[in-house]
Amino acid sequence: MLALIASTAVLSGCSSAGTEPPPTATPANGKPPAAAGGSYSAKDVCTYLKGEIPALKEVGSPVGRHANLAGDLAAFFESHGKPENGAVLDAATKAECPAVRTEVLALIDVESFSSF
């Protein structure tokens, strides 16, 4: 349950600091909107997710991996900017790193970041 709450907060752009979520409009440059923590980049997320795979494989259950990834992604997005929601993260990772996306989602036993 805690992982669900943490991941929902990460993907909805909420944080415990009470900051506002990033704007919902995509800028003219086509990149996802930047958040207060930095500029969100699909390439950076893909690199990060690929690096997380070995650690996720060491966790004994999908629920544990889910919780682990939720916490780690929360920290990552705090410093790199947050995607608008899970659907935006899904689209970005499908385009940039579909194999990494598929492996990470299989490890946490979900079909998409939207359901993460």
pLDDT in tens, 30-62: 444 443 334 678 999 999 999 999 999 999 899
Q: Contacts by 14-23 with C-beta closer than 8 Å and gap 24+?
A: 15/78, 21/82, 21/84, 22/81, 22/82, 22/84
- Evaluate the CA torsion angle 26, 27, 29, 32 in order and state its sign: negative
Neighbours of 50 (CB within 10 A): 15
> To the nearest whole percent, how much of the chain has pLDDT over 70?
66
Residue 22: its pLDDT value, please? 41
Nearest to 23, CA basis, from 34, 38, 37: 34
Nearest to 8, CA basis, from 100, 74, 99, 96: 74
* Spatial distance between the Cα atoms of 37 and 27, rounded to a whole number of angstroms: 17
- For residue 102, pLDDT beyond 80: yes
Find all residues with CB under 8 Å of 2, minimum gap 6, and list them.
67
Q: State the chain's mean pLDDT as an integer.
A: 76
* Spatial distance between the Cα atoms of 50 and 90, rounded to a whole number of angstroms: 15
